Amino acid sequence: MNNRVFIILLFFTATIWAQNKETLISGTLVEAETGQPIPYATIVLNDTNSKATISGAITNDNGTFEINTTADNFYIEISFIGFKTLQLRTFETIENRVSLGKVKLYQDSETLDEVVVRGEVSKTEFKLDKRVFNVGKDLSTAGASALEVLNNVPSVNVNIEGEISLRGTGGVQILINGKPSVLADESSNALGTITADMIQSIEVITNPSAKYEASGTSGILNIILKKEEKKGWNGSISLNTGIPDNHNVGVSLNRRTEKFNLFTQIGAGYRSLPRDNEAINRNLENNEVIFSEGENFRNETFFNITLGTDYHLNEYNVFTLSGNFAYEIEDQPSETNFRFFDGDNTLVSQWVRNETTDATNPKWQYEFNWKKQFKNNKDHTFQLSALGSFFGKDQSSLFEDTTIEGENVDSNQRTATNYQQADFTFKTDYTNPLTEEYSIETGAQYVINDVGNDFEVEDLVDGEYVINESLTNDFEWIQKVLGVYATLSYENDIWGVKGGLRIENTDLETLLANTNDGSSQNFTNFFPSFHTSYTISETFSLQAGYSKRIFRPRLRDLNPFFNIRNNFNIRTGNPELQPEFTNSYELTSIYKIGKASMSSSLYHRYTTDVVERVSTFIDNVNFSTPENIGTNSSIGFETNGKYSPTKWLTFTGDFNFNYFDRKGTFEDQVFDFNGNQWSTRLGTKLGLPADIDLEINGNYRSDFETVQGKQSGFAFLDLGMRKKILKGKIVANLGIRDIFASRIQENFVNQPTFETYNFGQRGRFFTFGLSYAFGKGEAISYSGRRR
């Protein structure tokens, strides 16, 4: 009896022990098509009989998972958005371990379609002084880069080479979370390290309010990033080649965790930029003519690295620290042929001018930013940022004139340039939504531009080089701009109004150190802005805005320095140049018709102290110098649209027409005239079978009258093709810029005593690139474009 009881107790003890024994289930989840790991997928254990959930886990950054369970009657269910759900009911248990190895998930297009149908599609909201494009899951789950997201924003176009335009115009300022950023630097494709699932929204600003600095751009695109949970790795390697020479390699990496977003990009390459030039100087008083034509190159070997991090201290505080360093080695050979004819059309002399130029250009940029959100409202924020940059150039040139026919003009010259530019921007912004309808913004910005350019010219005289004092100058330029602003806005679901005022003080000093000639300007200006909007429906909205803008002369406008590559056509600066001011009025309608989105604007701009280049003619030499000449009043119409009848076909277009009325005088010469100018761009993007995208863009810019002559119009066509391999893990790009080599710069000056003609052309460019992605997301291209 006792033995029988002992055996029964032993049986029950073993049974209970076996039931409490844990089983470990492990495996790695990968995409069936590419073999790439799938992070953050859901693994669930369900009871075989009741279907009830027993336990669960989520895959880590590498796609691996582990689950412990004491259950012995279960099946495994694996799911992730965009993929078919997988159930595993047959598996082997060895020593209380279930090792699944690599588990493959297959993409499910139907699931993605369901996501779109549920209303999580990217869409645009109309705000007072901007449009907000909210990124939906149709983009954020597709592994796209920030550039591809921008290409889905109405009025924005990104070509295959990554160049961004807004309403058909380049020169767009890119902000990250409302501030300048190393990530938005156009000298590399660092923006590509941001993937769509990191982006919350993109703000499109075409007529900036007083919050933004008053110096003008064609518009602002502000990319708002999410504060999110773990995002894992994102990386890409790119190889590119082209004709003329354009070869580079780049590596982009991004690592996002709960606390950190680490990003880096490293690139190196070689590029050659040829340019054909032609010029004619005709003296109408004695009928002498000088013809010149030639070709020059800018050959560059370059290296750059970008490194930075966002640190989320807590839910309300984010710090950003980043930097970029680049180094360029330049070689600029050129050859220009000259012919000089006298008044009887007799050849006096023919010679060739050869240039040999070498330069090194170090560049760096660094950024610090702190953004604080307050607990009462996510839109209640304070932001402090500092951005610094430096650019240097150490350049030497040798010019040799060799006579071919006629009078002897043999001569040699050499130049040396030491250029240094340092820029610093300090900025604070405070936004407080007082109520659901009322909001205030205030802040300040201080910008310092410090430039020095030491330019020396030497002539070969009796076998020795002697300084040419008339051409040598040491120019220093320091500009400091302090701006403060405040805005107040009211906005409900239907309409809103926003008013603001920005005050900027400009302190500008220039000095020609070799002659001790200097000038100083200090002026304070008020820049009001006013915006209102009225939303008629989800598909139609009206916006109206006014702002005052300023164009401050740039260094090349002020610096007397000139290049003597062609010493019969010399471009100089004007240290006495004044800024130009523009009052800008705009009425815009934004509407959607089916699958088409369009924006049309009527605008009026009135500009004073217009900066124009004026030619003067001395001893058959054409000097081109910027001057302030009168006013310009323009009235224009602009429309642009995007139409996608199917997922694989998109049409884009822009059209801009303006009529201008110029009034002004210069040195007793009256420049009163009127005219018009128009431009258009038409593009199509076609999704072909086998994951091939084709893009064709055609552009036309009309001719227009200038203060002394005429600027010719031109048309050009660009083509691009992209092939995705392994669901975008490998991307091949082919591009042809200016297919017909028709993009030209042609300028005529017609005056009573002289005429000049200038022509320039870059020619046709072919590019081919391969990019390979690792981690998550699609391949990110690195172009290594020039800053």
Half-sphere exposure of 158 (CA within 13 A, CB side): 17
3-state DSSP of 220-274:
EEEEEECCCCCCEEEEEEEEEEEECCEEEEEEEEEEECCCEEEEEEEEEEEEEEE
Maximum separation of any 2 CA atoms in the chain, in Å: 140
Which of 343, 233, 364, 337 lies closest to 278 in space, CA to CA? 337
Q: Which stretch of 137-151, 231-245, 639-653 has the lowest confidence by average pLDDT?
A: 137-151
Rounded to whole angstroms, the Cα distance separating 146 from 181 reads: 14
Query: Which are the contacts of 191, defined by CB distance < 8 A and separation ≥ 6?
Result: 145, 146, 147, 162, 174, 183, 184
The DSSP line for 569-590 is: EEE---TTPPPEEEEEEEEEEE
Strands 580-593 and 540-551 come out as antiparallel
Domains and CATH numbers, the chain: 2-108 (2.60.40.10), 110-233 (2.170.130.10), 287-698 (2.40.170)
The C-alpha atoms of residue 775 and residue 760 are separated, in whole angstroms, by 45
Q: What is the pLDDT of residues 748-777, one digit of tens each?
A: 999 999 999 999 998 898 989 888 877 655
- Reported as a pLDDT band with limits 50, 70 and 90, residue 162 is low
571 neighbors 604 (Cβ within 8 angstroms):
no
**pLDDT tens figures, 37-62:** 787 678 888 888 877 778 777 787 67
Mean pLDDT of 5-24: 52
Task: Kindly report the backbone phi and psi dihedral angles of residue 103, in degrees, each rounded to the nearest multiple of 5, phi listed first.
Answer: -105, 125
Gap between the Cα atoms of 80 and 58, Å rounded:
10
- pLDDT tens column, 459-507: 999 889 999 888 888 889 899 999 999 999 998 888 899 999 999 999 9
Secondary structure class of 30 (helix, strand, coil)? strand
The structure tokens listed for 137 are: 């899951």
Judge whether residue 222 has pLDDT over 90.
Answer: no
pLDDT at position 262 is 81
Q: Give the tokens for residue 516.
A: 């001790």
111 SS3 class: helix
Nearest to 618 by CA among 556, 561, 567: 567
What is the mean predicted confidence (pLDDT) over 654-677?
88
Cα→Cα distances 436→201, 492, 573, Å: 20, 8, 51
Q: Is 691 helix (H, G, I), strand (E, B) or coil?
A: coil
| Other CB atoms within 10 A of residue 90 CB | 5
**Which positions ≥6 away from 3 have C-beta within 8 Å?**
none
Tell me the mean pLDDT in the region 627-631: 93
* SS3 track for 611-659: EEEEEEEECCEEEEEEEECCEEEEEEEEEEEEEEEECCEEEEEEEEEEE
Among candidate residues 781, 780, 778, 782, the one with its CA nearest the CA of residue 34: 778
Cα–Cα distances in angstroms (integers) from residue 325 to residues 34, 248, 301, 430, in the given order: 35, 16, 14, 31
Q: Classify the C-alpha dihedral 401-402-407-411 as positive or negative.
A: positive
Indicate the SS3 state at residue 6.
Answer: helix
Burial of 462 (0-12, 13-18, 19+ CB in 10 A): exposed
**For residues 718-723, average pLDDT:** 86
Is 341 within 8 Å of 347 (Cβ atoms)?
yes
Q: Looking at the DSSP assignment, which residues form a beta bridge with residue 103? A: 29
Q: Which residues of 168-181 are buried (b: 16+ CB within 10 A; e: fewer)?
A: bbeebbbbbbbbbb
Count each helix (H run) and each strand (E run) in the chain, helices first. 5, 47
Percent of the chain clearing pLDDT 70 (strictly above): 85
Say whether 5 sits in a helix, a strand or coil: helix
| pLDDT confidence tier of residue 732, bands split at 50, 70 and 90 | confident
Please report, for residues 178, 204, 220, 385, 480, the alpha-carbon distance to residue 501 in angstroms, rounded to integers and kept in the order given: 19, 21, 19, 21, 20
For residues 668 and 680, the model is more confident at: 680
Q: 537: number of CA atoms within 13 Å, CB side?
A: 5
Q: Over range 226-244, report the average pLDDT.
A: 73
Q: 3-class secondary structure for 289-350?
A: EEEEEEEEEEEEEEEEEEEEEEEEEECCEEEEEEEEEEEEEEECCEEEEEEEECCCCCEEEE
Residue among 551, 533, 553, 535 nearest 543 (CA): 533
Tell me the pLDDT of the chain averaged across its residues: 83
The DSSP call for residue 448 is E
pTM over 0.85, yes/no: no
> Range with the lowest mean pLDDT among 60-69, 298-307, 406-415, 755-764?
60-69
Read off the tokens for 339: 């012919």
